[in-house]
Each structure stands twice: as structure tokens, then as C-alpha cells.
Amino acid sequence: MNETWTWHPQPDDDGRKVRLHAPSCEANLDGLADPQAALTFVPGSVCAGMLGGVPLAPCARATVDDACHRAGAAPAFDEPPFVLPTGKHAAAGAVVREADGRLWLVAPSNAFGGYTATFPKGRVEPGLTLQATAIREVWEESGLHVELTAWLGDFSRTQTFTRFYVARRIGGHPAQMGWESQAVHLVTPAQARLLLNRDTDRTVLDALLGEGSRCV
């Protein structure tokens, strides 16, 4: 069987090249302004449009680091206490929602963890708060710089207990996604439900849409 491989333009955390099997293909980038269009960005995709009054433009790590520092020093809003269950790792992420209602999803490189599409998230690193972790993970996995707007819920996953926030994009560009993602999708909630292949993520989507419990 012939296999097609390519290299992610971003090295991993140890500086090594990341080889991708079955790379994603970009799609419908000319539909950026259409609130019903489903777009797929890949590393290096060229799309310099404006969406919801916010341009798609690369964001420097220093800008995100500053936002994480500010989030750690002064949280954007009050939130419930985070009670970590025994045996779970603390994690945080965000559902990034555009003004037109579309959502941003990431496609993990080589379907890591069995995910074909998911919401950006990651484990909390020492010295980072939950809100700061969510901001950093969104940028690292999707290339988007976001502002958190609300607490969404706390969700038990296989190895983690993950706090999710709702966020809005204030900068960044999905083509700037880090090595952990091989594509970034901009989709309607209905399209997101079809792309998300794990019940844990569908539960997060239900919470966003007001269909499910805020704490699972």
C-alpha cells in the first residue's frame, strides 16, 4: 500500500520534525464571510480576510504570553471553584465562537488520541492558571489569539478533568497552528456535531448550546 507522508512546518516541543500521515486538505477558504460555510485551514494556508471585524493575522507568542500573564494576575471573570477528582489531571480549553455563530475546531496531527476533530485544550502546566492555560492552548493548537468570555463547564475525560471556557477571537491566524494540529476548521454548530467524533466533545457542544449539563 502506498502511503503519503509530509512534514509539519512546526517542530515539536523537543525541536524534532513531525511527520504527518494522510495530511489534511484546505477547503472553502473563499467562504470566510459566509456564516454557513465550512472552512478547513492547514499549516501555511493563505487567507487574509476580515471576519466579525477582526482580521486574520499572525499573532506573536509574546502577545499570547502577555495575555496569559494578565489572566493569571487578574482573571477575566469569576468562576466556580475547580475541584479536581482523584486520579485525574487538571486541564483547560475553550470553545472559540465567532460573531456569526461558527466555531473553531482543531484536527490533531495523525488523529492523536483517536480524535479527528476536537476543541483546543491541554493539561495545566506549573505556574499557569486555568484561564491562562486555555488561552495558551488555543493559540498553540489553532493559531488563534482569544479572549475568554465565560465559564462553560467542567468535564471528565479519560485522563483529565477539563475546564472549558467560551472565547472570542481577537487575533491570530489558523495557518499558524502548532505541530499538534494538522488542520483547523471553522464550522457551524451543526457541522461541528458531525465532525466531532467523541461523545466527550459532543457534551461540551451541548453545554454551549444549552442542551446539556454545565458540569459533567
189-204 pLDDT, tens per residue? 999 999 999 999 999 9
Asked if pLDDT for residue 216 goes beyond 50, the answer is no
3-state secondary structure string across 77-129? CCCCCCCCCCCCEEEEEEEEECCCCCEEEEEEHHHHHHCCCECCEEECCCCCC
Q: In the predicted model, what is the mean pLDDT of the chain?
A: 94
**CATH for 25-75+87-208 (3.30.428.10, 3.40.630.30, 3.90.1640.30, 3.90.79.10):** 3.90.79.10
Contacting residues for 93 by C-beta, under 8 A, at least 6 apart: 119, 120, 121, 122, 134, 137, 138, 162, 163, 164, 165
C-alpha span between 40 and 107 (Å, rounded): 10
User: pLDDT-derived band of residue 158, with 50, 70 and 90 as boundaries?
Assistant: confident
**pLDDT at 211 (0 to 100):** 61
**pLDDT at 4 (0 to 100):** 67
Asked if pLDDT for residue 214 goes beyond 50, the answer is no
C-alpha span between 90 and 113 (Å, rounded): 17
Nearest residue to 39 via CA among 21, 51, 54, 55? 51
